[in-house]
Structure formats: structure tokens, C-alpha cells
Amino acid sequence: MPTELSSRRAPACVRNRIAALTLFGAFWATPAMTQAPVDRAPLHEMSWGRATMLLTEVLEYAPQSAARPVLFDLIGWTGGAVHRFVLKADGSVATVGQATHGEFQALYGRLVSPFWDAQVGVRTDLRRAAGTSASRTGFLVGLQGIAPGWFELEPSLFVPTDGNVSLDFTGSYDLYLTQRLVLQPRLESSISLRDDPAFGIGRGVAGSSLGLRARYEWRREFAPYVGVVWESDFGRTAELARLAGRETSDVLMVIGLRLWR
Amino acid sequence: MSLNDPLDRRPLSRRTMLQSLGAVGLIAGADRLLPDWARSGAVAGPRPALVPRTINGESVHELDVATTRLRIDGRATTATTINGTVPGPLIRLREGSEAVLRVRNHLEQDTSIHWHGLLVPSGMDGVPGLSFPGIAPGEMFEYRFAVGQAGTYWYHSHSGLQEQLGHYGPLVIDPADPYPHAFDREFTVVLSDWTFESPYRILDRLKKQPDYFNFQRRTVGDFFRDVAQEGFMPTLRDRMMWSSMRMNPTDITDVTGATYSFLLNGLAAEDNWTGIFRPGERVLLRIINAAAGSYFDVRVPGVPMTVVGVSGQYVEPVETEEFRIAIAETYDVIVQLPDDRPYTIFAEAMDRSGFAAGTLATQAGQRGELPSRRRRPTLSMMDMGMSMGMDHAGMPGMGGGAMGTGTRRAPPGDEHAGHDMPAGAVTPPTKPLRAPGTLPEASTHGRDRHGVGNAMTPMNLQSRLAEPGAGLGEDGRRVLVYTDLRALSARADFRAPLREVELHLTGNMERFMWAIDGVPFRDAAPIEFTFGERLRLTLVNDTMMNHPMHLHGMWMELENGHGDRCPRVHTVNVKPSEKVSLLVTADAPGRWAFHCHVLLHMEVGMFREVRVSGAGHTGHEGDHRAD
């Protein structure tokens, strides 16, 4: 019976990859294959199947910035074509000084239309600066997908336990200059309902970053890039920053690696 | 026929000599002196057919499936082989005989062999889980069936992705009656694609980046080139149209020459497979597309080809200069080679990312000239199903005229053509079905968009049988289209269908979800046919890719406008946004496979069980050994 066959066992590639999700170190553990393994091929599962992916959409270093931060925007998922477990991490770690912040999300994603994943789950924000640290956790609901025009969009609504709701947005576009050289404009923005001094966030449009990165897909999975990122605070957030003696805008030159497997 | 022509033996004797040399060479450690093909097991010329062994007075074909180290395209690799080679040996059967084929599995996992295009009892059809349990490691399975047909076919594994690993070979059935067409010599030409990567890894990558293997995307440079040629606004409109659909017009095949080596009889073009002919001879080429993911456009530059068979079935001879062979199709063509010079068999991948080639030569060592390569095609509005009001069915000859296609371009007029169908309706049972053998009416897509597994629903569905397909027929050459094909003789049992089964071929490239009606095999109920019934199978391609659809166990009569001369096929290509109809007589009880022959599309669920039962049959005949 075909149904019995399908339940025999998951393909080896899937089983091997489940372990890979949590560890960065395992990222390059499997060498490129030069020949096909011909043993242990499963019989036809003939379904959309499962996969596990880990992607460093942003993993970069800004050597000329005062804090010399490492910036990251990572996404990992495991699951089928429709249902997925998704992990996201977005933030920066200073290598000079202590300014560190990050958002971490653990989500369930479900394909609700051919190009859109609806995601729900928890998000935790961490922030450390000049001897203070803060954290907040809450519920997140969002979308991730491709809008007409091939824009990759990721809007989300964050409802932390302290009630300071924020709306976050990430959008990017891949422009193929050649078959391997890709220019990617990328916009990240956040709108907050209230002031949250612990996070340096003011009501309204809190902060935005606009990046332009040029990557070279040496392999699809291995693309070094250079870029320029303009970060700016607006409105109340900018006022809070000025009061705290921080810069309200910065231009970062970055070098990075876009990796996946 | 000249199967026993001494010329045919020449490569064999040379091979035998080199094999002996190889044995000596191994002792002397001089194996490396041999050319690659001598070590690969694939010889650079025709190989003799598998010689059956006589066991208890029976002629038994013995096939050993094993993992073999060999060289392909100049590199050492590991393949799943049949009798040690890729492709496997040529199996030659005779119409009217009983075939006995013993398959031994030397692999560490299950295997199977499906006889592609052969009408055999369900239990002999070789689909694990449907027709039989599969062949476990170390086991032998004896296939035994009456051979009731003649022609060019092939065989391959139906287990996992073994086919991509080399598990396929040619199968030719000599007719009981004389051939209706004359030829002096014949060669079997197996086209295929090979990758040095694991096909499971390839599938995994496609799930993460669907255009992973496409290195022919439209770039910013192409934009400015098109602006210069077409003007700014038309180019912008074109780009906006595609991007608003979130479709890629260069998405011709999923897996490309970026990883594939394209092979002709197991050899890359550089290894130059060569068939020897004498000037003036008529040479029959039995061309088989055994690729897992590649369509080829085939020609012999300098001479026309006369197509005499498709899917192993005779067709009225039709002359062409180039034809597209979908995955799993077989074409018999005759070429008359007048001159004492080498001729190239050129099979360019549909997306132009590579080619397979061999030479028809008058003496060994010759190499035919390679024609210049063409630019990759892009998909059109027609492929998107956005061609408002275009109606091929109602405009016979339009495809032929516009595309500069084959010699027999106008199918008989189709009085039923037109937009008389209510939007989106499957033919209501009260409405009489149109006449058998006619082209399907154009219609619009129904409301059912087949869920998240289907990214696109074409607005307008129509017959595209008179079109050669994207990128073919654009350089002034005569090319073959499906409407050119007419069965050699009228079918005596040609009847009208009593019902219609409509299936939509669906896909969402972004997540590599391929299915039928948006449901993958694992979650789908079987399609029920009643034994003995005559039905119309209508296939609607809702995707932007070509799908070669293959029905096991029964012929499909391709309704291409030629009435009772509609050709019988085991595999039919369905173009993007196309509606194709086929007549099927459900004369084979049991459980059968119906699927897309793009191996990875099948693997992710573009597959159905067809169960033929009723009239005394349970539909479970396949669960038992035949007889």
C-alpha cells in the first residue's frame, strides 16, 4: 500500500538535517558532495515532504563604526511545505563597548496562500547598553511572503506583556545585476504605540534602517557581500536618543556573508 | 534490416579487444591508459542487445541492479546500474512472444523495474506499492508477461530517485509483421541527464531556493537590451506583468545544465558516441528520452528526419527538421544520409543550458560538426494563460502558420470550438461530450484555484497542440507539433467517450509543491475507472512548466483533431496553460500509476493511482502475481 510505504521512514537527508537547526557550528559540517550516494534511498514518499533550512540573510561586520558591531538577521525553519516551525534572530552585538540588542522569535508558520506564510508565536527582545539591560517578551503575529513585484515582505505585530504594542516591517528586493551578482535593497522599520525608555523607543516611527547590499553568489549557499546601511531614529525615539547623548543616525559600511543550507 | 551487418559488430569487437587490454592493463597498473569510455562500461558505439539465457527451454533476460563505480562525462562516479552500465542494456523482445525477465537486486535498498509503455498485467508493471511490493535487497523478481505490441520503449526504476542515478535502459520490441517503413540500419539513442550530486540533495535545495539551478535569469543587462530592442514602455510592462504574477519567464526547467551532464547513450558529447553507416543508407533512430528532468530538442543538422513512430506506435511518416522530445517519450525517426561524411545527432536541452550529441559516421573516429547554440527561451503570455480570446481550437492552422511548423499543420476543423462553455464548468453530465478525436474547446478556468499548492490559475485554457513550445520553431526550421501526428491506420475500436475526467496539473514553485488538483499523492484518493469504460481524460496545466504525463497500463489516444487516426501515446506533454484531452479505454483491471515524469515532480506528489475495477474485477488484480 502506498500509504504504508510513505510511513516507512523519512528521507535520510531530512533526518540528518533535523539536528542541524540549533547549531551554527554544524553549518558547514557536510562537505559538498562529489558523487551521489546510492544507498538508503527511500521508496516513494510522494508528498510535498519536509526540509530544514538555516539562512543568514544578514551576517555582517561594520568595521568603521565606533562600536564595531556584528549585525545579524537569521532565520531557520523546519517542516513541510505548509506547516513550519520558524526561528528568527535579528540584532547586533558590539565588539567595542556593550551595546547589544536582539529580537528572538519562535513561531509556527502556515502557508495560507501560495505566496504567504502566516506566523504566530513568541518574541523576546533583549537590550544592553552602558551597564543597563532590559528585556521584554510577548506574543507575535505576522506574515512573511512575496508581494506582487517580487518584494519579500515581513510585517508583524508584537504585543509584549507590558502592552507597548509595536508594528514591525521588513522588506527586501533581489535585483540580479548578473547571474551571480545580486543587489539587495532592504528596509526595516518599526512603529511603537508608546514610549519605552528602557528600550530607547519612542512613540511613533521608532527607527528605520535602509541597507543596500551587493552579494556575489559564489555558490547559491555561499554569498559574500559588501553593503552600506543607513540607520536613523525618528520623532520621539530620536529625542530620547539625543537626551541620552546618542547619535540619532549613522551610516555603516558593512562586509558580510549570506549563507544557507 | 541489418542487425547482423558486420559494420555493427565493429565497435563491439573493438570494445572486446579493449576489455581484454583492460584486464592486462589492470595487472600492469596501466588502466589509466585506456580511454574513459572503455572503463565506464558505456562504449562509444552501439552496444549489442542483451543476450537472453536459456533456462529450462525458456529464454530469460537477466538483469542485475547494482551500485557500480564508473566514469561519466570524464569523471569517476557511482551509479545505480543495470548489468553494470548506464544506460542499462538494450532489451530486445519479439511481439507475440512471452517475455521472462529476472531482476536481481544487489543494492542495499529496494528497487524495481517499470517497463515504460508496455501493456502488461498490473502485477508485472513494477510500481512498488501499487503493482507489487518492490524487490528487496538480495532478492530476485521474475517479470513474466505476453508481449502484445511492438516498437521502441524503455525501462526504469520506479523506486525513489533511482532513475536519476542511472537506473534506466532501452527496450525494443520487434514486430511480428514487417515494418511498414524501409530502413537499412537502426540505432537506439537514449538521451538522459546525469548529476554528480545526490538527487535528494537537489530536491532539498529546490525546496529552499526554487531557482537554485537557473543561471539564465533575466538580469538588469537584459532589461536594457530589451529596452533597446522593444522600447522602454513595452519592456517595463512585460517586467511588471511577470513580477506581478510572481512568475519567472526563464523558469523553463527546475534542474539544469548547472548540475546536469547531458548524455547520449551514456556518453557526454565530448565522448562522441558514434554509429557507423554507409553513405546513402536510411537509418532508423529510436530516440528515447530517459532523462529525469530534461526535455531535448533533437535534430540531425543537414538532413530532414521522417518521424515514423511515437510512443512505440506507428504514425504516418511526417517530415521535420527538429522535434521536442518530452521526458519519457520515444520517437522513431528515419534519416537518409546521402554523403560520406559525419552527421551529428544534436539534442539541445529545452532551456539551452547544455546538450547531448553523438555522431553518425562512415568510419570510426569521425566527429560531426556541432551546430551553434541558441539563447534560452522565455515563457510568453500564452504560457501564462493570459492570451484573451485566442482560440487555437477554432483557428486550425494558426499555430502552424504563426510558428512555421510541420508539414501537416491544419488539423481537421473542430466545429465545437468556441467559448460556449460556461465559465469554469467541468463538462456537465447533461451536455453531450464533443466528438471523439477533436481538439478540446477553449474555456476559462473555474473558481477552484486548488489551494496553497497552486500558485497560478490561467484565465484561458486552450489546446496548444499545434504549437511547438517555447523556444522551438523560432529559427526558420520545420519543427514537429502534436497535430502533425496521425496514427498509421484507423483504429477499429474508436468509440466516443461516455464521460470526462478532468484533472488539473498544479504547482507552487516557491515551495516546490507539485500535485494534481492541488493534492499530493499521499493525501489523494485513487481515480476510479470502470473496467471496460471509454472515457475522456482532460488534463489542464495550471502551471508555467511543461509536464510529461504518463499513464501506466493503458494507451491514451491523443485527441489532436485527427479522429480515429489520433495517435496512441504512453506519455503526453502538457504545455503551460494548456488543455489536452485523451481517450482511454479502461481495459486493464488493476491498480495503475498516472504521474508526471519529471522525476522530482513525481517524488513530491504529482502522482495518482488509477484503479480500474468493476465488471467482475476488484481493482486489486495487481496485488497478486499475474496468471
What's the whole-number mean pLDDT along residues B497-519?
Answer: 96
- Helices B232-245, B220-230: crossing angle, 10 deg rounding: 130
Q: Give burial (CB, 10 Å; 0-12/13-18/19+) of B22.
A: middle
pLDDT tens digits in sequence order for chain A, 261 residues long: 333 333 334 444 444 443 333 333 333 333 333 333 333 333 456 899 999 999 999 999 999 988 899 999 999 999 999 999 999 999 999 999 888 999 999 999 999 999 999 999 999 999 988 778 899 999 999 999 999 999 999 999 999 998 899 999 999 999 999 999 999 999 999 999 888 888 888 888 888 999 999 999 999 999 999 999 999 888 888 888 888 888 888 899 999 999 999
- Minimum Cα–Cα distance from A32: chain B residue: B197
CA distance B420 to B350: 35
**pLDDT tens digits, B183-230:** 999 999 999 999 999 999 999 999 999 999 999 999 999 999 999 999
**pLDDT tens digits, B435-488:** 999 999 999 998 899 999 999 899 899 999 999 999 999 999 999 999 999 999
More confident residue, B532 or B427: B532
CB contact under 8 A, B604 and A2: no
* Pairing status of strand B273-276 against strand B355-361: parallel
Question: Is the pLDDT reported for residue B26 higher than 70?
Answer: no
- Minimum Cα–Cα distance from A114: chain B residue: B452
On whether the CB atoms of residues A252 and A231 are closer than 8 A, the answer is yes
Interchain CB contacts (distance < 8 Å): A and B: 163
Spell out which residues of chain A touch residue B203, defining contact as CB-CB under 8 Å.
13, 49
* Pairing status of strand B282-289 against strand B185-195: parallel
CA distance B591 to B183: 39
CB contact under 8 A, B221 and A178: yes
- Restricting to B residues 87-126, those with a Cβ less than 8 Å away from any Cβ of A are 107-110
Question: Is the pLDDT reported for residue B2 higher than 80?
Answer: no
More confident residue, B37 or B579: B579
On whether the CB atoms of residues A122 and A139 are closer than 8 A, the answer is yes
More confident residue, A242 or B97: B97
Share of chain B above pLDDT 70, in %: 84
Spell out which residues of chain A touch residue B376, defining contact as CB-CB under 8 Å.
none
CB contact under 8 A, B79 and A176: no
Check residue B193 and give its pLDDT: 98
Spell out which residues of chain B touch residue A113, defining contact as CB-CB under 8 Å.
452
Check residue A152 and give its pLDDT: 97
CA distance B154 to B313: 13
Q: Which of A44, A110, A260 should be substituted to probe chain B, the one whose Cβ sees the most B Cβ atoms within 10 Å? A: A44
**B170 pLDDT tier (thresholds 50, 70, 90):** very high
Q: How far is A209 from chain B (nearest CA, A)?
A: 25
- Minimum Cα–Cα distance from B519: chain A residue: A47
CB of B239 less than 8 A from some CB of A: no
**pLDDT tens digits, B283-317:** 999 999 999 999 999 999 999 999 999 999 999 99
Please, what's the largest Cα pairwise distance for chain B?
A: 79
CA distance B114 to B570: 13
- Minimum Cα–Cα distance from A219: chain B residue: B212
Query: Pick from B158, B196, B219: which is nearest to A178 by CB?
Result: B219
Q: Which residues pair with B287 in a beta bridge?
A: B189, B331
CA distance A136 to A156: 16
Q: How far is B446 from chain A (nearest CA, A)?
A: 17
Spell out which residues of chain A touch residue B158, defining contact as CB-CB under 8 Å.
44
Contact residues for B280 (Cβ-Cβ < 8 A; gap 6+):
B336, B337, B338
Rg of chain B in Å (alpha carbons): 24
**pLDDT tens digits, B59-91:** 999 999 999 999 999 999 999 999 999 999 999
Spell out which residues of chain B touch residue A41, defining contact as CB-CB under 8 Å.
109, 159-162, 165, 200
More confident residue, B24 or B586: B586
CB contact under 8 A, A17 and B221: no
What string of DSSP letters covers B516-536? ETTB-GGG-PPEEEETT-EEE
Check residue B434 and give its pLDDT: 94
Spell out which residues of chain A touch residue B204, defining contact as CB-CB under 8 Å.
13-14, 17, 51
CB contact under 8 A, A178 and B510: no
Cis check: omega of the bond before B371, within 30 degrees of 0? no
What's the whole-number mean pLDDT along residues B375-393?
Answer: 73
Check residue B242 and give its pLDDT: 93
**Single-letter code of the amino acid located at A178:** T
On whether the CB atoms of residues B270 and B227 are closer than 8 A, the answer is no
Contact residues for B262 (Cβ-Cβ < 8 A; gap 6+):
B191, B192, B193, B194, B268, B269, B291, B294, B296, B347, B349, B354, B355, B356
Share of chain B above pLDDT 90, in %: 79
Query: Pick from A43, A149, A177: which is nearest to B219 by CB?
Result: A177
Q: Write the DSSP symbol of residue B563.
A: G
Spell out which residues of chain A touch residue B107, defining contact as CB-CB under 8 Å.
38-39
Question: Is the pLDDT reported for residue B405 higher than 90?
Answer: no
Q: How far is B507 from chain A (nearest CA, A)?
A: 9
CA distance B98 to A242: 91
More confident residue, B621 or B196: B196
Q: Give burial (CB, 10 Å; 0-12/13-18/19+) of B3.
A: exposed
Check residue A136 and give its pLDDT: 94
Cell 536459456 -> residue: B54
Q: Which three-class secondary structure state does DSSP give residue B476?
A: coil
Contact residues for B127 (Cβ-Cβ < 8 A; gap 6+):
B112, B114, B158, B552, B592, B593
On whether the CB atoms of residues B415 and B437 are closer than 8 A, the answer is no
Contact residues for B227 (Cβ-Cβ < 8 A; gap 6+):
B235
Phi first, then psi: what are they for A152, rounded to 5°?
-90, 115
- Minimum Cα–Cα distance from B194: chain A residue: A36
Q: How far is A48 from chain B (nearest CA, A)?
A: 5
Spell out which residues of chain B touch residue A17, defining contact as CB-CB under 8 Å.
204
Spell out which residues of chain A touch residue B160, defining contact as CB-CB under 8 Å.
41-44
pLDDT, chain B, mean: 87
Q: Which three-class secondary structure state does DSSP give residue B607?
A: strand
- Minimum Cα–Cα distance from A183: chain B residue: B220
Q: Choose the weakest-confidence range: A111-125, A174-188, B108-122, B613-627.
A: B613-627
Spell out which residues of chain A touch residue B512, defining contact as CB-CB under 8 Å.
48, 81
Instruction: Provide ipTM, 2 decimals.
Output: 0.83
Write down the pTM of the prediction: 0.86
**B617 pLDDT tier (thresholds 50, 70, 90):** low
